Amino acid sequence: MKYSKLFGKTIKETPSDATLISHKLLYKGGFLRESTAGRYYLLPLGLKVQQKIQKIIKEEMDSAEAQELITPVLHPKALWEETNRTNSVGFELMSIKDRNEFEFVLGGTAEEMLVDLVRKFQLSYKDLPVNLYQFSIKFRDELRARGGLLRVREFLMKDAYSFHVSEEDFKKEYENMKKTYTKIFERLGLKTIIVESDNGYIGGEYCHEFVVESEVGESRFLVNPDGSYAAHEDVVKFVPEKKNIAEKEESLKEVEAVRGKTMEDGAKFHKLPLWQQIKDVLFVDEKGRFILSIIRGDYDVNETKLKHIIKAYQLRHATEDEIREKIHSEPGFISPVGIKEIVKKGIEIIIVADETLSTVKNSYGGANKKNRDLLNMNMGRDYKPDITSDIALAREGDLAPDGSGPLKEKRGIEVGNIFQLGFHYSSKMKGAEFTDADGSKKPYYMGCYGIGLGRSLATIVEVFHDDKGIIWPESVAPYQVHLIGLDMDEAEKVYKRSLKTSEEVYKSLLAEGIEVLFDDRDVSAGIKFTDADLIGIPYRVVVSKRNEGKLEIKRRDKGETEFKTLGQLLSLVSH
Amino acid sequence: MKYSKLFGKTIKETPSDATLISHKLLYKGGFLRESTAGRYYLLPLGLKVQQKIQKIIKEEMDSAEAQELITPVLHPKALWEETNRTNSVGFELMSIKDRNEFEFVLGGTAEEMLVDLVRKFQLSYKDLPVNLYQFSIKFRDELRARGGLLRVREFLMKDAYSFHVSEEDFKKEYENMKKTYTKIFERLGLKTIIVESDNGYIGGEYCHEFVVESEVGESRFLVNPDGSYAAHEDVVKFVPEKKNIAEKEESLKEVEAVRGKTMEDGAKFHKLPLWQQIKDVLFVDEKGRFILSIIRGDYDVNETKLKHIIKAYQLRHATEDEIREKIHSEPGFISPVGIKEIVKKGIEIIIVADETLSTVKNSYGGANKKNRDLLNMNMGRDYKPDITSDIALAREGDLAPDGSGPLKEKRGIEVGNIFQLGFHYSSKMKGAEFTDADGSKKPYYMGCYGIGLGRSLATIVEVFHDDKGIIWPESVAPYQVHLIGLDMDEAEKVYKRSLKTSEEVYKSLLAEGIEVLFDDRDVSAGIKFTDADLIGIPYRVVVSKRNEGKLEIKRRDKGETEFKTLGQLLSLVSH
């Protein structure tokens, strides 16, 4: 490709809202332009990179024996109603009617579409397992889009859905996909950490994000020193340090108390450690149940864990009025002790205690009355939780479940995810069954596997750049060689004997099947070099009269310049 | 690919609404399934064919120096309002709002998106011409979808938009694209006729459809004997035969008349030829203007031509009430003679005469009164049209503009189209300008070039099939070899010395990079042969103990069977 003819050349300015380096560099380098917030044009350079990513994903998915197909963009809304996802999805759905008033949604994922397809066939256990994937545009009506390709409203996604006779069989495919994803990201040049994650309303233990460590990532996770345990902050398990469990249980005592602004003020007031406090957080779920979650004062309640334990979709904090009028307690002074006896008649309240409370004796905290605290509260003796479980938000410094540690907090960009769907969709969608060996009909056990292509593209730039521009890994570079012609107008007379002209080098490279971007413009060497650094193609090759018959070759990721013949260049460049 | 594992196997039944052979065969062969009317899943086999079509188009577009990019699916509605296309497009637009009440349309084409993109850049005449193309999903909210892929509501389209400094420069690209399209369709195995077509509200002479002759096509066109002139029925020009123009003009005479059900009844009543009649058709356009179109009785008015001449978007027939109350004439007896004098005050009426009326003298027809006709009407003497032009619908048998003939009517499937956009979009969209050599800003002169991939796929099946199934051209076949293993359970003991097992042949072919569908099922030879014929892969290769060490090879498009070695097979099959 001649750069003079390329649509989408470099530019000095960046959009005013661009904060991410990937956004700035992809914009300046001529890889993309925004249409409306979160919706992008990929220009020829950008699309080339995305196509290379797509090819790598396709090759690996095919070699893992997944089969590619394609579903319509508009999903019949009726399918989403079958699974009740019109009410429960975490991203806003956009819906649209056609002229016949038939209603569709713009899919954010395609579980219903795939299940609807598969149930059109009379599959038997012999046809299974099958893993079906597609590259298709997905829509997320995000409240806010970040500039650039990391969080957008419309994007190309590789989504795959596997169908199995059993959970056992699914687990094999899960491992297969875990390996496949690892290989895909390796080929993209990305080092991924496999992070245990929350599987939302579906639950289950098979749910992992593939995360690339990055300061600008939105995924927060904790990881142990050797990296063998990594989990999203929502789901991290840990071993809480035992505190004063050897202490004798003192008798319960009600005392005067004053609240400050923080938990620490309470600790100061009583001159007792923070961890000896009981932290009480009162929630209301979507069914109107009150959930009193209690936890050691030095930890916070993890709402994700709490939701799973009480099987709730949504939690909100109880209001001060609710605390007074329905619970008959006092904001800031809630206590599990005796609370079930004082709540208004007909109000359901569930006490969920975090396991950290088993590591302390003689806790202190509210007394369900204004400016009164209890000292020496002991679980089992003074209050009996309905549920005792892990509802804590782990902290940096905690120990991993295997006792290794300390856990360290990291941030990263989620580039892919794999998770079980189990029977969630197949049980809700009538007829999503296969015929088993014994002739009986059984629902499919399912799994799901996604990769965002644009986000992967942007992540590569976040990882591979310097202050001059992008440094594309060879596997996804839009071109392999950035050929720069200098002294082009003198070429005819000067090069005749000593060196081929840049035009000739260009043709020779093309003839060898090498992808070349040829900067044939009539601009200064300085501009050409700056643009080459910004665009980030792996090999910069300069043809100039000063180079005495040799090509000046510089790898974008290295400092030194080498002088080689055309033959030597050809053997260097992968093609 | 092992057929036992393929998702989407053959089936005997066809959908109840399937009438097109391409729909039936693609359904039965396991290439597609319908989601909702006009929206299809492409199954693995179907997607493979579409991807081959896509690859051929991409190769030819790239080699024609067009540049691929991709636009968002959701187009800001504001852009379509800039060009007033929200009101004027021929297909129904679907629109949708996001959570912020921002309105989008689902694009049926992407002119506005491309112009909006290009105007984000400060292009100069040096950057031009540029031809930008994409493969993207297009939406048409059709009132009725035909079953199968010929007329759908959602489809993958290759659409290209070129930007030029002038009409002159555009014409070169138009020829370039005409050649490119011809080559693309040749490579797809399709013989296309380049048919002059109507360019709708844009007009201009550069508008052609690429049509594949087919009984099931919706494009009707006329073509001269050597194929050098082909035009869509809406735009066919022709040389009308001269009738009685040598005759002396007789004096106008009003007579008693009775109307039958057809024009021919009038001819019978007056015992005069049909061509001597004047046919009057009264339309009302979107501005409320009355248009009296008159034409020789043996021809019909071509509304497309008429609209262009009077620059109207929409025409409807005047009602009987309007004819009586506003025109003060009589349904069935309208006449151009004196009509301007009798219409109600304030009513605008335009008389448009077809050129065929110059080929007759002494015409007869209505007298603007019930049961009264005029004889011997002569244009110029008795009535003066506001416009005389070609507004006739050509008929089979007419002569082409160059006098060749007779024109023959054909039907075909439009698989691609190319047309000028001129300044239509760039003049309506502010800032769609380049900087010319003299520093002045000028609007782009534009062209547009489309190919429907799914329709091309279905057309290939309409052309290449027999009563057993599809016969894919090698260029687009989902696989090159359909390998059939017979006696597979006996393979181990029988084949040891004489022949490789089918599994071994499969692996050898794969190792050579040949695309193989391997029917490894435990079903009868008959079922395997029937399925192979239905699916239509070019080479059927049978491994059987009966074949004494050779492979039985049959081309899907030929009758005879040959026996060859593996080496001979490899040299046969393109890869």
The shortest CB-CB distance from A154 to any of B7, B72, B76 is to: B72
Please report residues of A whose CB lies closer than 8 A to that of B43: 69
Q: Do B44 and A143 touch (CB under 8 A)?
A: no
pLDDT band at B201 (very low <50, low <70, confident <90, very high): confident
Distance (Å) from the alpha carbon of A196 to chain B's nearest alpha carbon: 31
Q: How far apart are CA A299 and CA A360, in angstroms?
A: 13
Answer whether A41 touches B (CB < 8 Å).
yes
Mean pLDDT of B291-308: 96
From B105-109, B248-252, B538-542, the region with the lowest mean pLDDT = B105-109
pLDDT in tens, B222-243: 999 999 999 999 999 999 999 9
pLDDT of A498 over the 50 cut: no
Q: Is B67 exposed, middle or buried (0-12, 13-18, 19+ CB in 10 A)?
A: buried
pLDDT band at A200 (very low <50, low <70, confident <90, very high): confident
pLDDT band at B260 (very low <50, low <70, confident <90, very high): confident
Q: Which of B47, B42, B39, B41 is nearest to B145 (CA)?
A: B39
Mean pLDDT of the residues in chain B: 93
Mean pLDDT of the residues in chain A: 93
Q: Are strands B349-354 and B387-389 parallel, antiparallel or unpaired?
A: parallel
pLDDT band at B143 (very low <50, low <70, confident <90, very high): confident
Distance (Å) from the alpha carbon of B127 to chain A's nearest alpha carbon: 6
Answer whether B65 touches A (CB < 8 Å).
yes
Answer whether B4 touches A (CB < 8 Å).
yes
Comparing alpha-carbon positions, the chain B residue that sits nearest to A4 is B127
pLDDT of A314 over the 60 cut: yes
Among residues of chain A, what percentage have pLDDT more than 90?
Answer: 85
Taking CA B70 as the corner, what is the angle to CA B64 and CA B72, rounded to the nearest 5 degrees? 155
**Placement of tokens 């980030």 in the chain:** A536
pLDDT of B106 over the 90 cut: yes
The shortest CB-CB distance from B117 to any of A41, A72, A99 is to: A41
Tell me the domains of chain A and their CATH numbers.
3-237+409-461 (3.30.930.10), 253-393 (3.90.960.10), 479-572 (3.40.50.800)
pLDDT of A215 over the 90 cut: yes
Please report residues of A whose CB lies closer than 8 A to that of B47: 68-70
Mean pLDDT of A439-468: 98
Contacts of A439 (CB under 8 A, 6+ apart): none
Q: Which of A562, A49, A71 is nearest to B43 (CA)?
A: A71
Q: Say if CB B31 and CB B45 are below 8 A apart.
A: yes
Please report residues of B whose CB lies closer than 8 A to that of A39: 72, 74
Please report residues of A whose CB lies closer than 8 A to that of B97: 94
pLDDT in tens, A260-298: 888 788 889 999 999 999 999 999 999 999 999 999 999
Mean pLDDT of B185-200: 96
Contacts of A424 (CB under 8 A, 6+ apart): A83, A201, A202, A446
pLDDT in tens, B43-69: 999 999 999 999 999 999 999 999 999
pLDDT of B499 over the 60 cut: no
Q: Do A116 and B35 touch (CB under 8 A)?
A: yes
pLDDT of A109 over the 70 cut: yes
Q: Do A94 and B95 touch (CB under 8 A)?
A: no
Answer whether A67 touches B (CB < 8 Å).
yes
Distance (Å) from the alpha carbon of A395 to chain B's nearest alpha carbon: 35
Distance (Å) from the alpha carbon of B235 to chain A's nearest alpha carbon: 30
Is residue B385 reached through a cis peptide bond, with omega within 30 degrees of 0 on the bond before it? no
pLDDT of B149 over the 90 cut: yes
3-state secondary structure of A458: helix
Q: What's the confidence (pLDDT) of residue B497?
A: 46
The shortest CB-CB distance from B42 to any of A65, A69, A74 is to: A69
Q: What's the confidence (pLDDT) of residue A490?
A: 65
Distance (Å) from the alpha carbon of A70 to chain B's nearest alpha carbon: 5
pLDDT in tens, B280-297: 999 999 999 999 999 999
Q: What's the confidence (pLDDT) of residue B340?
A: 96
The shortest CB-CB distance from B132 to any of A4, A7, A139 is to: A7
Give contacts of B 80-99 with A, CB under 8 A: 92, 94-99
From A133-147, A444-458, B356-370, the region with the lowest mean pLDDT = A133-147
Answer whether B41 touches A (CB < 8 Å).
yes
SS3 string, A88-149, reads HCCCCCEEEECCCCCEEEECCCCHHHHHHHHCCCCCEHHHCCEEEEEEEEEECCCCCCCCCC
Q: Do B116 and A35 touch (CB under 8 A)?
A: yes
Q: Do A98 and B153 touch (CB under 8 A)?
A: yes
Distance (Å) from the alpha carbon of B285 to chain A's nearest alpha carbon: 24
pLDDT in tens, B242-251: 999 999 999 9
> Positive or negative, the Cα torsion across B230, B233, B237, B240?
positive
Distance (Å) from the alpha carbon of B141 to chain A's nearest alpha carbon: 7
Q: Do A69 and B43 touch (CB under 8 A)?
A: yes
Q: What's the confidence (pLDDT) of residue B87?
A: 72
pLDDT band at A138 (very low <50, low <70, confident <90, very high): very high
Q: Do A72 and B47 touch (CB under 8 A)?
A: no
Q: What's the confidence (pLDDT) of residue A575?
A: 56
pLDDT in tens, B431-486: 999 999 999 999 999 999 999 999 999 999 999 999 999 999 999 999 999 999 88
Q: Do B96 and A98 touch (CB under 8 A)?
A: no
Q: Say if CB A376 and CB A335 are below 8 A apart.
A: no
Query: How many A/B residue pairs have CB atoms within 8 Å?
Result: 128
Distance (Å) from the alpha carbon of A73 to chain B's nearest alpha carbon: 8
Q: What's the confidence (pLDDT) of residue A146?
A: 80
Please report residues of B whose CB lies closer than 8 A to that of A121: 7-8
Q: Say if CB B481 and CB B509 are below 8 A apart.
A: yes
Mean pLDDT of A538-565: 90
Contacts of A496 (CB under 8 A, 6+ apart): none
pLDDT of B495 over the 80 cut: no
pLDDT in tens, A400-415: 999 998 999 999 999 9
Q: What's the confidence (pLDDT) of residue A497?
A: 47
Q: Say if CB A504 and CB A523 are below 8 A apart.
A: no
Is residue A129 reached through a cis peptide bond, with omega within 30 degrees of 0 on the bond before it? yes
* Mutation for testing the B interface, residue in A98, A100, A101, A516 having most B CBs under 10 Å: A98
Among residues of chain B, what percentage have pLDDT more than 90?
Answer: 85
pLDDT band at B491 (very low <50, low <70, confident <90, very high): low
Comparing alpha-carbon positions, the chain A residue that sits nearest to B49 is A69
pLDDT of B35 over the 60 cut: yes
